[in-house]
Amino acid sequence: MVAFSDMSAEDKQTVLEHLGELRKSILISVAATFIAAMGCFYFNEFFLQVVTYPVRSIGQTLIVTGVTEAFFVKLQLSFLAGFVIAFPIVSWAVWRFVKPALYAHERRLIYILFPATIFLFAGGVIFAYFVVLPLVLKFMVYIAGENLETLFKVDQYVSFVMAFIIPFGLTFELPIVTFFLTKLGVIKPQMLSRNRKYAILIIVILGGVLSPGPDPISQVLMAGPVYILYEASILVAKYTKPRSQNEEEPEDGSEDASKA
């Protein structure tokens, strides 16, 4: 591995330009999330009602036990909603950083992959909210039994919900990540198929780590969709043409000339 001090002046300039673009993309993402969160704080009661609906729908009550607990919960919710709302801008910032590494004819794929990125993230969030969360909450109440009165603290509940929503949304991006790694030749579909048993083990471990609760239901509901996404990623890899080693970026206007 070449040290930065051993690089030529041109290579150093290239690295610094890439770091500058990365910094700019991160700043855009953070600023978009922060601005959206500030706007969402004005509607904190609405977002609180939406997030607490699953637990209220099964007849449970949320309580506040700290002086500042309600304020910080609404602040948390504002940033959660802000990130979800700002995710299209965050995705655009990521694509903006990745775009220079793509060849001219590959950049057209952004018009397909950018909407797919947003769609998959939204699908993960919706799946977590409408399918996973209600099942986990019902299981928790069932485990408590009749001898225990269940009173959920609102800060712990909101943290629990956030631990479901964000990971599910991000893990649903696995096919997009697989597409790029396959395009760059980092992975191959044969490798994904051959190492399926190891992938299952890793998915189960990640399901236990990422799931907010120690119960097996939440772990299975976390690991199950990820495994389905893994199989979908194998299909994506099979139909993705890797970039050849001798492939060169077409000159400016060469693509237009080929169309003429």
Q: Which contiguous run of DSSP H or E holds residue 73?
A: helix 69-98
Residue whose pair of structure tokens reads 């309600």 in the numeric block: 70
pTM for this structure? 0.74
Please name the amino acid found at residue 67.
V
34 pLDDT tier (thresholds 50, 70, 90): very high
Rounded Cα distance between 159 and 255, Å, is 50
14 pLDDT tier (thresholds 50, 70, 90): low
For residue range 178-215, what is the model confidence (pLDDT) as tens digits?
887 887 777 888 888 888 888 888 888 877 766 655 66
Nearest residue to 99 via CA among 170, 32, 22, 174: 22
Sorted by where each begins, the domain ranges of the chain are: 12-169, 173-244
Rounded Cα distance between 11 and 17, Å, is 10
More confident residue, 27 or 105: 27
Q: Are 117 and 91 in contact (CB under 8 A)?
A: yes
